[in-house]
Structure 1
Amino acid sequence: MDLDAVRAFVAAADAGQFQGAAADLSITQQAVSKRIAGLEKHLEVRLFTRTARGARLTIDGQAFLPHARNLLQAQERAAASVRPGSRALRVDVIGRRLAPAGLLRGFHRARPDTPLDVVTLFDADAAITAVRAGTIDAAFRAVTRRADRLPDGIEAARVHDEPLQLLTGPDHALAGARSVTLAQLAGHRIWMPGIVSGTEWAAYYDELAAAFGLTIEVTGPDFGTEPLLDTIAETPGLATIVGEETRLVWPADDDLRRIPVHDPTPVYPHSLIWRGDNRHPALTALRDHLGTVGADDDRDGATWTPAWAR
């Protein structure tokens, strides 16, 4: 549908005459007539009855008017979603069920009038590239590089440390434990098929496994969360690791167990990445909000993060 014709129709309906619509749109009356005629041909109905005093909406025109207004509003929202300086704050999260998405939901609850677009990129390198290019405003990622090794103009701040948990089925040897230590996990098979070599999460779990002698297996295709949970529920010798704030749902019959890990507690270091010259007002609001969330400052051995996050 020709939206310029729809705009001419709405302007004529509001003005009550084609001449007034032409003045409002800064086009000729002939152009207004041509656009509306084309719209009527497309819809196969008459939208106006022409009178000596102007133009009066037909019954079909009255029915079409509110939808026409919605079309123009949708067009404006679509344009605003990509228009520099006016689009919604565009933020990358590693997954929509993971902790960063929860942080973003908390920001939305605190600032419900702030428009947000949420995207999911593959890894930190892709996120940094998109932030640099300005196609996204910020990204939640673990940052494996020191601040002075980030690309010019890119800034990052650690905003949240998320404790990890062991996830087991009901027949696993550790299923009845209220908590487990990292030392207790040594010798148990931890299956995490979603780990992809070269990503920031692979770097994290590689260092975790090396530091505590864990067996983390990444073999087999990653069919997604539900098949992973089904396999963990049915296999006594397998467990996996999840973030404390990861949102998971499983059938009651699976009877999965989420068990805290302590001595020390491994925490995943979530950082916010943004471009220093980005002046989007909502970005400042997001950074201020996350500043109140904070990262754990416990460095006395009760928590563990990789060397690159310290």
Structure 2
Amino acid sequence: MERGAADLDLGTVRAFVAVTEERYFSEAAARLGISQQAVSKRIAKLESDLGARLFARSRSGTDLTEDGRAFLHHARALVSIADQALEVLRGRRRALRADVLDTRLASIDLIRAAFARVGGALEEDLRHVPAYLEPVHLLVSRDHPLADLRKVEMERLSGSTVWMPGNHPESEWAEFYRSLSAAFDIRIDTSGPNFGWDYFVEEIGSGERIGFVGERCRLPWHPRTVQIPIADPAPLYPWSLLFHPRNQHPVLARLIRFVARDLRPFDPRHQWLPDLDRAAFSG
């Protein structure tokens, strides 16, 4: 009965080449970083798969049998091709894919990885690095009583209604503004319609509504709107860099170092963060 073709284990082939070149199983084991017993098992498996004896042992080491000499050239070729394939993938310059929630938000400046607020336990084994604390500003029309102020103290907003139609109820940003609302007696109006930034700015500029926006949010220009910093305390939106631990892209480590280097820590004397975010952004 004809013997079936064997699927060669590359690890056993590497062991064969190492023993051939080192002549001792112990030296081959040290070269491969495994035990001598493991080398012996790999050679035994290879000989079983090939149906041939490859080595003859002696006091002076190991010598190739006739079958071993016939297999050596092919074994070296297999190992060389495998090493070349690994080197191609390891050295390949792949683009680091990154994402942001909206091209008008401050996170676009940090990369241009996904940036978002964590605010609790992450799903799918994701990791995060605190990236940026963005001050929240007030957006009002030029006719609003607060429009001429250089800054607005938080207590002056107590009892106000702030219009934020883009706050999806299950989103991390909606949860942030619910915490802000509870802390400072501010009502967040999420009623629509939500037709995007242009509509939002137009509505603020042409009426009595007021809104919250990030300091570095790229708002559409409108002649009837004014953006004012909030102070005493200044509310901060916490952006984090999210990534998966299996992502081994070489640029990712550099991006993480860049983000961590420029982070300014939270100052509880003059700034406000929800309790969920304080630990990550303090110190």
- TM-score of Structure 1 vs Structure 2, range by shorter chain: 0.5 to 0.7
Residue equivalent to 2:32: none
Q: CA deviation at 1:211?
A: 0.5
Which consecutive residues of structure 2, in runs of 5 or more, have no partner in the other structure? 1-91, 279-283
Task: Map Cα deviations across residues 60-113 of structure 1 (whole Å, 9 max, x no partner).
Answer: xxxxxxxxxxxxxxxxxxxxxxxxx653111111111101101114xxxxxxxx
Task: Report if aligned partners of 2:129, 2:260 keep a CA contact under 8 Å in 1.
Answer: no
Give the equivalent residue in structure 2 for 1:90: 97
Alignment-derived partner of residue 26 in structure 2 = none
TM-score for both structures, normalised by structure 2: 0.63
Deviation (angstroms), 1:267? 0.1
SS of residue in 2 equivalent to 1:242: strand
Give CA-to-partner distance per residue, 1:249-297, whole Å, 9 cap, x none. 3243x2x111110010000000011112321011111111112211433
- 1:144 is matched by which residue type in structure 2? G
1:231 aligns with 2:203: yes
Query: Residues 202 and 222 of structure 2 are in contact (CA less than 8 Å); yes or no, is this contact kept in structure 1?
Result: no
1:207 aligns with 2:214: no
For residues 223-262 of structure 1, the aligned pairs below 5 Å read 223-235=195-207, 237-252=208-223, 254=224, 256-262=225-231
**Quick one: distance in 1 between partners of 2:265 and 2:135?**
10
Is the alpha carbon distance of 1:275 and 1:295 closer, same or farther for their aligned partners in structure 2, counting shifts above 3 Å? farther
Gaps of 5+ in 1: 1-84, 106-137
Match of 1:305 among 273, 276, 280: 273
8 A contact 1:143–1:271 mirrored in 2? yes
Task: Report how far residue 154 of structure 1 moved.
Answer: 2.1
| 8 Å contact kept, 1:164–1:261 | yes
Question: In the alignment, which residue of structure 2 is the partner of 1:217?
Answer: 189
Letter of the 2:119 counterpart? T
2:173 is the counterpart of 1:187: no
For these two proteins, the number of residue pairs brought into alignment is 188
RMSD over aligned Cα, in angstroms?
A: 1.7
**How big is the shift at 1:216?**
1.3
TM-score calculated relative to the size of structure 1: 0.58
**Deviation beyond 4 Å, 4+ runs, structure 1:** none
2:117 alignment counterpart:
142
CA drift at 1:151: 4.1
Match of 2:140 among 153, 158, 168: 168
Larger radius of gyration: 2
- In 2: Cα distance, 1:215 partner to 1:150 partner: 28
In structure 2, what is the Cα distance between the partners aligned to 1:296 and 1:168? 29
8 A contact 1:188–1:238 mirrored in 2: no
